Structure 1
Amino acid sequence: MDTFFISHGSPTLSIDESLPARHFLQSFGEKVFQEKPKAILIISGHWETSDPTVNVVNGPMDTIYDFYGFPKSMYQIKYPAPGAPEMAMRVKELLKEGGFKKVKEDKSRGLDHGAWVPLMLMYPAADIPVCQLSVQTKKNGTYHYNMGKMLAPLRNEGVLIIGSGSATHNLRLLSMDESVVIPWALEFDNWLKDSLLDGRYQDVNDYEKKAPHAKKAHPHPDHFYPLHVAMGAAGEESTAEQIHTGWSLGALSYSSYRFKTAS
């Protein structure tokens, strides 16, 4: 299994037919990755915890509406994907074996919109078991890259690993002018693309020092760390491919990547 990083942008991705990213995700199973996974492990920027935590849920999971002030129709969407408790425990096992001493379980948490919005478009039947893994925003990119490395065995067990966040994510510097991409956002997005496609994964781990406008692009790292997990899970010998690009609100990048594994 290859691994993926998806920029999920605004929650309106769930209903806005004008967004190219929506149509890209709807074509995912047909044009990008035809193999149906046995289970999905998704790392969302919308679940922050002090220690790595997996949701261990039996049966259909709740749809979490962790956004405010959006159209009523968005709060009526359901994505009742089955939980993947056995795979969740496998994730916990791999992380503990890899030196992550405290790995916790959450037996009631459903899927936040960083998980269910892209998944409802990619796999609308909601028939693939899903487990969600949290991020630790007080840690750094290398920590999350190493977390991904520990999860690499899942790729050979039929598990699709998806990081769901955003290539740029500064909600305070968005613009209502959709015709122009703000220069700092474009510079960061181009740097990220070049770094990934050139295989400079260590630079991406050290993005705060290496990238232009790093703090503007990610004043809080929650939406960037899912990329590091997906990148680490693919392995150092993997190659990156940009599978989608686009913008909304002047500074919100939808750049998404596939990490092609070496074996």
Structure 2
Amino acid sequence: MKKLVLLTVMIFAFACKEKPKESPKEVEETAETKVEEKSNWTVLFDGSSWDGWHIYSGRNIEEAWSLEDGAMLLNKTSEQRKDGERFNIVTDKEYTNFELSVEWMVNSGANSGIMWGVVEDEKYPEPYTTGPEIQVLDNIGHPDAKNGTNHQAGALYDMVSPSQNVVKPLGEWNHYLITINHKVNQGSVVLNGVKIVEFPVNGEAWDAMVANSKFATWEAFGKFKTGKIAFQDHGEPIVIGYRNIKIKEL
């Protein structure tokens, strides 16, 4: 009996010793895969090309935007434009529920914005005809900042004011995390790590906000849950920059 027990223990130990191990490469690949699955972030702009972007209404991007130091810069002056000419930039792809991470920078007097739910159609001359906007602005030097806090940087434009001002000085990079989630009817803006705006994105509460805004009579405004993301060209002769842009679909 003792011999049988001893033989069984020896066989078990040998089997354990011979169990194949994962190679370092296999372990590394498994770890990377888990990180990718956990994050689910997609790079929308890597700083080196215009892949995934185009000008709303089809103009050439390079007419007004440039790539410099990993950022997209809107730098066409008013003197270089025809009357009313705009170079709003939009994603090729449409999105519904997402988190958008983006860094932005403005110089003195700049005005821009980030829009979602944008429908690109010739009957809509500008992205803001359909897409609600998170404001990007020089709060000190641009006159629109004097039209109320719901026109200042971080605001859901003309509808919801930021709870506090955490914008960095001109020429420094700010960070937005913008969430739009129709599944739970929630939208929010986190500016430089601080949540400054929350709002519904559909239903009666959304309709009430629109009704109390300048967009009350705009037939198509905020009506589309799915649409493109746009960065606004407001027309000022000022440098505006965006970089490190990525999105997570929810």
- Higher radius of gyration, 1 or 2: 2
With structure 2 as the length reference, what TM-score do the two structures score? 0.25
Greater helix content: 1
Greater strand content: 2
